[in-house]
Amino acid sequence: MEIENLKKAVNILQNSKYFSAFIPEVRSNIVMAKKDAEEINDVAGIPGRITAVHDKPRVFTEPEFGASSHMARFVLNIMKHDPSKRSVMNIKFDEKIINICEKLGLKVSYYDRNGEPEEVKNVEGGTIPWGVEIAIKKVGEVPDVIYHQGAWGKEPSIVLIGTDAIDVAKMAICISKLFNTIKGPEVLFAPQIEKSIPKKPEISCVFCAMANGEPEPSKNILYNDGENMVVLNINPYTKGHLLVVPTKHYTDLTELDSNALKNLFKTVQNSLILIREVIRPDGVNIGLNLGEAAGQHIEHTHIHLVPRFNIETTFIGATTNTRIIRENLDDTYAQYIAKIEILDNIQVLRF
């Protein structure tokens, strides 16, 4: 079971165009332990680790047990505190990555290798148990992310922690997409204040770029009838978060005449039906923000449809007013497209 889970996780990583930027100089490894694992041979990993070839993540051997002593020791020490957390992966250290993790609501902790006691340094493999223990004590539970900023001759590192290898891989891809898309943490998406950030900062209005058919920003359009678009939010609050956007650049709801309003809210109504059919939520928030103080970060008027669930958890959990999305956008897009006939006058723009 662990080997198959790792194979799927490796496939997720290798199919990402973003993850190679996360591979450190010592390379990455992802491991998954058996239930009740007690020793290194109870933990499966990647022989030779995960490397990058021509800026693409690459694995050249099949997962096997006992393949990574370093990450195996890490997960074994994590499991002493929380047996459900059976997978870890190391990635490069970058302050921006830590910032993204914190903004996403992940529980982050750390240890300082410069404070490592001599009696720990003198024991082979002693750093990991000591570091894990310190990091857990800082937050009172097993965090989602543990990092250290290195020491003499030691590369800084971040370790992602999850229930299985697939969840850890998805976590890494989610973070890596934000890392590569967002220009610096000062404009980092905060889930409670929705932002749709264009990939290219020179685009003055991402929704106008979509309406004009520019390929990169248009790739998440589900529907465009020439007057209104239905767009998959690139920074969703929950799975399936949609935006309904007029193709004309209105900056306020009062600028729409009665006919435009009717067609806009007809599209909202049909989008609600689509969400209920595809996502099957327990509820849906529908609303729009007008003005920066209200949380509007793109002047172009747009309406949010946010699926809500009685229990809103993810592969690593959620904290108040923050969410991590378990499913990637491409998977959600494909599910919507399969039911797209629910929307009238369909004109799919997928690049």
Catalytic annotation, residues: 302
Cβ burial, residue 280 (10 Å; 0-12/13-18/19+) = exposed
Task: Give how far Cα 215 sits from Cα of 41, 107, 180, Å.
Answer: 48, 36, 18
Rounded to an integer, what distance in angstroms lies between the CA atom of residue 88 and that of residue 247?
44
Whole-angstrom distance, CA of residue 308 vs CA of residue 306: 6
Q: Which two tokens stand for residue 339?
A: 């039911």
What count of Cα atoms within 13 Å lies in the side-chain half-sphere of residue 99? Answer: 13
Distance CA 125, CA 7 (A): 27
Burial class from Cβ neighbours inside 10 Å (0-12, 13-18, 19+) for residue 60 reads exposed
Name the packing angle between helices 165-181 and 95-103 (round to 10°): 110
Helix axes 165-181, 2-14, angle to 10 degrees: 10
Strand pairing report for 145-148 and 108-110? parallel
